[in-house]
Chain A
Amino acid sequence: DIEMTQSPSSLSASVGDGVSITCRASQNVIKFLNWYQHKSGKAPKLLIHAASSLQTGVPSRFGGSGSGTYFTLTISRLQPEDFATYYCQQTYSAPFTFGPGTKVDIK
Chain B
Amino acid sequence: QVQLVQSGAEVKEPGASVKVSCKASGYTFTAYFIHWVRQAPGQGLEWIGWINPNDGGTKYAQNFQGRVSMTIGTSMTTAYMELSRLRPDDTAIYYCGRAIPADQAIDIWGQGTVVNVSS
Can you offer 21 A-B residue contacts whose CB atoms are under 8 A?
Answer: A34-B103, A34-B105, A38-B45, A43-B110, A43-B111, A43-B112, A44-B37, A44-B109, A46-B106, A49-B107, A50-B105, A55-B105, A91-B104, A94-B50, A94-B61, A95-B47, A95-B49, A95-B63, A96-B47, A97-B47, A98-B45
Within 8 A of B (CB), among A27-57: 32, 34, 36, 38, 43-46, 49-50, 55
**Size band of the interface chain A makes with B:** 20 to 34
* Any A CB within 8 A of the CB of B11: no
Given A44-B95, A98-B44, A98-B46, check contact A91 B103 (CB 8 Å): yes
A63 at the interface (CB under 8 A from B): no
**Interface residues of B, Cβ cutoff 8 Å to A:** 35, 37, 44-47, 49-50, 59, 61-63, 95, 97, 99-100, 102-107, 109-112
| Total A-B Cβ pairs within 8 A | 65
Contact A43 B95, CB 8 Å, known A34-B105, A50-B105: yes
The CA-CA distance from A43 to B39 in the complex, in Å, is 10
Chain A, interface SS category: loop
Q: Which of A43-100 contact B (CB under 8 A)?
A: 43-46, 49-50, 55, 87, 89, 91, 94-100
